Structures are given as C-alpha cells and as structure tokens.
Amino acid sequence: MQKLKKYAATKAGRDAIISFGIVIIAFIVMQALLAADMVSSLLEGLLVPICAYVVMAVSLNLTVGILGELSLGHAGFMSVGAFSGIVAATCLSGTGAPEPVQLAVSIVIGGICAAIAGVIIGVPVLRLKGDYLAIVTLAFGEIIKNIVNVLYVGLDSSGLHFSLLEQRFELAEDGEMIINGAMGVSGVSRLSTFVSGFVLVLITLLLILNLINSRAGRAVMAVRDNKIAADSIGISTTRYKLMAFVISAAFAGMAGTLYGLNYTTTTANKFDFNTSILILVFVVLGGLGNIWGSVIAATLLTVLPEMLREVGDFRMLIYAILLIAMMLFNNSPLKQRILEKRGMKQMEKLEKAEQSGKEGA
Amino acid sequence: MAMLEVTSLGISFGGLRAVDELSMKIEKGGLVGLIGPNGAGKTTVFNMLTGVYRPTDGGIRLDGQNLIGKKPHEICRLGVARTFQNIRLFGGLTVLDNVKTGLHNEITYSLAESLFHLGGYRKKERQMDEKAMELLEVFGLGNVAGYQASNLPYGKQRKLEIARALATDPKLLLLDEPAAGMNPNETGELMETIELVRERFGVTVLLIEHDMKLVSGICEYLYVLNFGRLLAEGTPAEVLKNPEVVTAYLGE
C-alpha cells in the first residue's frame, strides 16, 4: 500500500493508474452489460473499432504529444497493418492454430510491416520539421492508400503472389485472392474480439507509458522541448526521433490489424486522410502528451456520432458543435486560469520552503 | 600539451566573417574567460566548439583529438558540455528529469529495457535518481526536484542548466553568460558556485561574460574578442589595462 501511494505521488504513476483504471473499469462495465444483454447491437459492433481507435490515438500521441512532430498520415500505417495483417491471417487460417493465436501472430506481423513502413517514411520525413513534416506525412498517407488500391495479392499452394496495377499472376485451382486492388479484401474471417482488443489496448498503454517513463522516453521529450539542448547533452536527435516515429507506426499497424480483422470486407479508402484527421482530433482533444486523455477522447468521439444517429439529419451538426465546444474549453481562459493557479501554487510553495529554510539556518 | 587547442579558427556566413584567425590554448583545470563587446563572435566560438556550426577553417583539438566535423552529440560524448545564453531547458520535464536526461550517456540501458521496464531498468533508474539528486543538492535545487523546469525562477533555471551540463561528466564546461540577468547578490553566489564546480568536479571552465566583476574575480586568463578577431589575451589585470580593450568597450 505504501508503495502504491508513493507511486501515485509521481506524475508517471498517476498517469499509469488513471489510464489503466479507466480502461479496466470500462472493460468490466461493458462485460457486465454484455452479460446482462443490455448493449445495443450498434454499440456492440463498435467495441472493437473503439479499441483500435484508442490504440491509434495513444500511438499518434507518441508522435504528436511526446515527440512533438505533427503527423497527418497516421492512417497510412493503420492501412499497412490492416492489409498485411489480413494477408497473414489468411495464410495462417489453414494451419489449424487456435483463433486467438492466429490473431496475435497477425497483429504482430501487421505491427512489424507498419514499423518497416515507418522506417522507410521516417528517414526522409524526419529531416523536416513543423508544417513541412505535416504536409509530407499527409502525402505519404495518400501514397500508401493509392498503392494498396492497386495491389493484388493472392495465395495458393505454391505460396503468396504479388503484383501492382493489375493482376499479373495466375492462381492454382486451390488458390484465393486476398487483396483485389481497389475492391480491397472480402471474405475475411473475423478474428478480432472485444477481449483481444482490450488486451491490445492494455499492452499498448503499458509499453508506451513505460517508454515515456524511461531513458529513451526522456530523450524523446528532450528533443521535443529543445533540440539544440538535447544535442548538447549527447542525445542523438535523429535516432530518437526515428525511434519514436517507428514505435508509433508499429502500434498503428497493430491497431490496423485489429480493425481489419473485425470486418469481412475492407478497402484502402477506409484509411484515408479523414481517418488521419479523426485520430489527430482524438489526440488534440485528449491533450497532447496526455495518454489517458487520448483514451477517453477516442472512446467518446467514436461512440458519440453513433449515439447521435437518433437525431437524424442533425447528427453531424451536433457532433461538430460538440467538437468546437470541447476545443474552446481546452483553450478557454477558465482552463488557463486553473493551470496558472497550479503553477503559481508551486512557486508559492517554493518561496515558502525557501523562507523557512533560511529562517532555519 | 594544452587540453583545448584552437588554431586559427574562422567561420564565414556568406560574406560576413564572424570569427577570424582565433587561436586559444586552455590548460587542464583552468578557468578562462572569453570577453568582448556585443556581436564580437563569442557565442559563435562556442557554437563551433560544440559542433553546432562547422568552422570554415582552422582546427579544434580536445586532448589531441580533432573535433572539426563531429556532430554536437558526439562532441558532448568526447567531454564538452555547455550552457546557453538564452536558457534552453527541457521545460516540460521536471527538474530531476532534466538532470537525468543529462545522464543519458553516463548511465545507459537498452530500448527493450525501456519498453518493458525489465533487466537493469530499476537499478539503473535508481542510480540515475541518486546521482541527479546529488548534483541538484550541490546547486541547492534538491527541494524543487519534482517541479516542472519551466516553473522555476530565472536564477534557478540558470543553475539547473549548469547541473544538467555537469551530468554529462564533461572535461570542459562552456558557460555562455551565466550571470546574464542576475543581480549582484546572485552573481556573487554564482561565482562561488563556479569555483565549487571546478574543484568538486575537476572540470576545466571556459566562460563568456559581460560582468567584469565576475570575470576579473574568478578567471585566471582572458581572451578578448572584437569583430571576430582576437584583440588581446592575458591575465585579467593585464587585459583590463590594455588600452585597445578599453577602447573596444568604451569607444575612443
């Protein structure tokens, strides 16, 4: 107990307890509601996407909040993860391994493929900064979308076949097409479950919070706060920027696999610029660098538009107004004052402590 | 052999010759000042020493090792640490974490250990905490270790920057106007701190300063820069009597 209290007193400890607390409580409540059959089929269908979006938001927060670089192409990594994960799952489906194992392996493969894409994109892109970096990541997101749109992948007894632009391979009789160009994938066996999504969220939170609270994480934040100073104390800024970017891409890929294996059909257009922006909205609303904020924002903003279906035509109008209201609150003088007060209190405490120290001496 | 050897160092930005034919020698354990009017090129010299700028010509050697063409983080690993004229702290991190970041290459563990908090993580983090707290105590910052660095008052931010630089275990410490914006009391305190740092950590110090009281009070040797060229060098007493130096500072 004592240990827990001490842990909760640190900022890192507080963040971890809040993040895990929210996720675990939400999971237990949902499971109870599911058991009692009190969940609408609409919400039930949203459970896995919510988990995927939470992982997306947390991973994008690593790039935008912790590394401090605006990325507008995060859905691209989700796409890479989704399609490579689906290919992996299709290859594994014949092995007879239990479904959770198939899913886990597919997710790992999706993550690795997205990480590779992260390296390829990160090396040139991270030479830029600010708006320029944002624009180039946007372009890469679109490039990934367009490549997947003309990608043909098939599987038969002799292995995997790839081609671009048009189908240039003949499949044996037992073969099947996995990715069919702009038609995307269809007939995917739905491996993703709410429990697996929950586990992925927990793993993501654990690893990303661990990272933030470590030598590597401090180096990344140092680069964000002051690149020149970080250089001056011996931190290789290029290396840590790339590291954060690639880890972020890897988790986006895993979220993509989870998402892709939740639907029987998926097309590349699902992972377009709008999706990237949607996830960025989660991160900004949840607070840059605030991991549990991302979790809440991703959940609320995924559920909200669906819940608003009842109001029919006004749905997107209300959604937009709510978004604006939240943005306004985040920048409001009220919130600023609360934050300032906290800073002032620290200063006051400091002065008092000093005075008492001087009197003591 | 001198610890830091700078030979006919020069740099041009387009047509502007910011520093020209600068030669300096700093012995191990020395406390040397680099002074000069505004715009004389002092900070540019620091930027060349730490690899932020690449000199157009000349050489820099630290203990015989060439520093030209090395990246800033590589130069830091070779033992050169610095502070900045406009304070550059990691404002979003706590005071303690600022110093722990300085220990980045002193106490290391792998990325896997970072992600999973396994292996040496706990032990190394504890070592880091202890060493960082020790450094903070030296600068009287122990009681603010948990505060966000950007919330500290100005004087303490300066001290924190020096503490962070020392965390990298440097041979040579470059201080860029450490007394800027300080009142006479704080400057006096700072002078004591610099002396203390030199004795306790065995570092060689090169500092840029405008405050003549500080410079003549603690520096053993001075280099005077004017319009990017070396105007004079010598002990503080010699240099401050030099008519050319007086003219450079006060005009004809």
Question: Which DSSP string do the residues of A95-149 spell out, in sequence order?
Answer: TT--HHHHHHHHHHHHHHHHHHHHHHHHHHHTTS-HHHHHHHHHHHHHHHHHHHH
pLDDT tier at A351, thresholds 50, 70, 90: low
pLDDT of B153 higher than 80:
yes
CB contacts under 8 A, B 20-39 vs A, are none
Bridge partners of B206, per DSSP, are B32, B174
Q: How many CB atoms lie within 10 A of CB A340?
A: 11
Over chain B, what is the mean pLDDT? 89
The rounded distance, in Å, linking the Cα atoms of A75 and A117 is 12
CB contacts under 8 A, B 140-169 vs A, are 143-144, 146-148, 151-153, 164-165, 167-168
Best mutation target, B48, B73, B137, to test chain A (most A CBs within 10 A):
B73
Tell me which chain A residue has its CA closest to the CA of residue B92. Answer: A225
Tell me which chain A residue has its CA closest to the CA of residue B163. Answer: A233
- Over range B94-121, report the average pLDDT: 88
Q: B30 — phi, psi (to 5°)?
A: -75, 165
- Give the gap in angstroms from C-alpha B75 to the nearest C-alpha of chain A: 8
Options 1.10.3470, 1.10.287, 1.20.120, 3.30.70; which CATH number does A2-330 get?
1.10.3470
Question: If we measure between CA atoms, which residue out of B100, B80, B22, B105 comes closest to residue B205?
Answer: B80
pLDDT of A152 higher than 80:
yes
The model's pLDDT over B211-250, given as tens digits with 9 standing for 90+, comes to 787 888 889 999 999 888 888 889 988 888 888 888 887 7
The rounded distance, in Å, linking the Cα atoms of A301 and A150 is 32
CB contacts under 8 A, B 59-118 vs A, are 71-73, 76-77, 81-82, 84, 88-94, 97, 100-102, 104-105, 107-109, 111, 113-117
The rounded distance, in Å, linking the Cα atoms of B75 and A258 is 45
- Over range A113-132, report the average pLDDT: 91
Looking up tokens 């624009």, which residue turns up?
Answer: A135
The model's pLDDT over A37-61, given as tens digits with 9 standing for 90+, comes to 877 887 888 889 999 999 999 999 9
Q: B57 — phi, psi (to 5°)?
A: -150, 170
> What tokens were used for A30?
């949902």
The rounded distance, in Å, linking the Cα atoms of B21 and B226 is 12
β pairing state of B172-176 and B4-13: unpaired
User: What is the domain partition of chain A in residue ranges?
Assistant: 2-330
The answer to whether the CB of B165 falls within 8 A of the CB of B46 is no
CB B81 to CB A232 under 8 A? yes
Tell me, rounded to whole angstroms, the distance of Cα B40 from its chain centroid.
18
The model's pLDDT over A189-225, given as tens digits with 9 standing for 90+, comes to 888 888 899 999 999 999 999 999 899 999 999 999 9
Q: What is the pTM of this model?
A: 0.88
* Cα radius of gyration rounded to whole Å, chain A: 23
- A354 contact residues in B (CB cutoff 8 A): 143
> What pLDDT, on a 0 to 100 scale, did the predictor assign at position A49?
92
The model's pLDDT over A262-290, given as tens digits with 9 standing for 90+, comes to 988 888 888 988 889 889 988 888 888 88
Helices (H), chain B: 42-49, 72-77, 95-102, 111-116, 121-138, 154-167, 184-201, 212-218, 236-241, 243-250
CB B105 to CB A234 under 8 A? yes
The model's pLDDT over A62-77, given as tens digits with 9 standing for 90+, comes to 999 899 888 888 999 9
pLDDT tier at A361, thresholds 50, 70, 90: very low
pLDDT tier at A360, thresholds 50, 70, 90: very low
ipTM, two decimals? 0.89
Q: Is B8 on the interface with A (CB under 8 A)?
A: no
pLDDT tier at A249, thresholds 50, 70, 90: very high
